[in-house]
Amino acid sequence: MTSTYAVLSEGLEKRFGAVHALRGLDLAVATGTVCGILGPNGAGKTTAVRLLTTLLRPDAGSARIAGHDLVREAAAVRRRIGVTGQYASVDGDLTGRENLRLFARLHRVRGPAERTSELLDRFGLAGAADRPASTYSGGMRRRLDLAASLIRRPEVLFLDEPTTGLDPASRNLIWAAVRDLTAHGTTVLLTTQYLEEADQLADGIALVDQGRVAHTGSPAQLKSLIGTQVEVVVANADVLAEAAAVLDRLTGAQPSFDHERNAVGAVSRDSTLTLPRLVRELDAAGVPLLDASLRPPTLDDVFLRLTDDHKERAA
C-alpha cells in the first residue's frame, strides 16, 4: 500500500529508569525520501530507531510505519522494514555468502543464490564472499550487515549511524547504496552525528536534541536560518566605515568591526549575494580591498546555533 508518510510518529516517549531518553518524538518522513536524524551522542537517536523498528515498546505516543500501527500491527511493520546499525546481525563463523543465504532462507526470498550474489557484488564483497565474516574489516562487516537488511527489499530502511568510524571507501559504498535505494522508491531513515552525511544524503533533516526534535527542514532551509558570513578586510582604517556602509546595504544586517585587522563583517540572510557583486560594490564605493570572503553556513553552524537556542528556550 502507499501512504504519504512512510514514518509518522507522534509524542513517542521512552524512559530507562531515571533517564528520559525520548521526550515526545514527532517525525513525518514522506514516502520515498531520506530523513536524516541528526544529533549528538546521547540525543536519543538509537532509542528512536529501536522504537520505530519494534525492537522496543514506547512508553507513550504512537507511530505508523508504512501505513501500519507500530504497536498493534508490529508483525506487519516488521515485514516491511529493514534495519541495520549498532546491533550487528552478522555471524562471524559463517562466510559473507552463507550469512546472506541464511537471511534469504529465513525470509523465504525467491532466487536466494542470485539475490545473494547480486548484493555481494553491489557492496564490493564478491572477492571476500567465501571467507568467514570474522576475517572482515569493520567496513566490510558493516556492508554485509547492510546487505543483509536489504535481502527482502524493505519499503522502509532504518540505518543507525551507518558510517560511524568507517573508512572513506566503505562510507562511499554505503552512501551510493542509499542513493540507489531511494532512486528505486525505498524510504530511508538514517541517524548520524555527521553533518556532512545528512547534507549529502537527506531530503529532510530532523535535529534531535535531548530526546526531542529541536528543528526540521531541508539542509538548505536549515542553512538559510543561519545566513552567509561576509567579511571584508580593507587596506586602511579610514575606509572601514565606507566598507561597513556597503555591507549594511547589501546584507541588511548590522556590521561588526575588527579594528585590529581593519576588518568588517556581517551575516547575510540574502543567499543570492555573490563575491563578485560584493567586490564590485566595494570597488564602486572606492574602498581599497585587501580581502573579501563569503562563507556559506555549514550544517555545523546550524547545529550549534539551533541546539543552543533550544537549550536557552528550555532553560
Ligand X SMILES: Nc1ncnc2c1ncn2[C@@H]1O[C@H](COP(=O)(O)OP(=O)(O)O)[C@@H](O)[C@H]1O
* First-to-last C-alpha distance (Å) of the chain: 44
Smaller CB separation from ligand X, 39 or 58 = 39
26 in Cβ contact with 78 (< 8 Å): no
Site for ligand X in 18-57 (CB under 6 A): 19, 21, 39, 41-47
Question: Minimal CB distance to Mg ion: which residue?
Answer: 46
Which option in Mg ion, ligand X, none does residue 19 bind, with CB closer than 5 to 8 A by kind?
ligand X
Smaller CB separation from ligand X, 47 or 187 = 47
Nearest of 47, 50, 64, 48 to residue 8 by alpha carbon:
64
Residue indicated by cell numbers 522508491: 185
- 186 interacts with Mg ion by CB under 5 A: no
Q: What pairs with residue 261 in β-bridges?
A: none
CB of 74 to Mg ion, least distance (A): 22
Smaller CB separation from Mg ion, 39 or 154 = 39
Backbone phi, psi, residue 254, to 5°: -70, 120
Which option in ligand X, Mg ion, none does residue 151 bind, with CB closer than 5 to 8 A by kind?
none
Which option in Mg ion, ligand X, none does residue 236 bind, with CB closer than 5 to 8 A by kind?
none
Smaller CB separation from ligand X, 21 or 146 = 21
The set of residues, in sequence order, having a beta carbon less than 8 Å from that of 3 and lying 6+ positions away, is 31, 64, 66, 67
Nearest of 283, 83, 299, 86 to residue 196 by alpha carbon:
299
CB of 18 to ligand X, least distance (A): 9
CB of 13 to ligand X, least distance (A): 12
- 46 interacts with Mg ion by CB under 5 A: yes
The sign of the CA dihedral 179, 114, 75, 53 is negative
Site string for Mg ion, 81-120 (x = CB under 5 A): ----------------------------------------
Smaller CB separation from ligand X, 13 or 118 = 13
Q: What pairs with residue 38 in β-bridges?
A: 192, 207
215 in Cβ contact with 306 (< 8 Å): yes
- Near Mg ion by CB under 5 A, which window of 37-45, 198-206, 239-247, 297-305? 37-45
- Near Mg ion by CB under 5 A, which window of 43-51, 87-95, 204-212, 222-230? 43-51
Which option in ligand X, Mg ion, none does residue 96 bind, with CB closer than 5 to 8 A by kind?
none
Q: How far is CA 31 from CA 67, 183, 188, 242, in A?
A: 10, 12, 9, 52
The set of residues, in sequence order, having a beta carbon less than 8 Å from that of 241 and lying 6+ positions away, is none
CB of 6 to Mg ion, least distance (A): 21
Interacting residues toward ligand X by CB under 6 A: 16, 19, 21, 39, 41-47
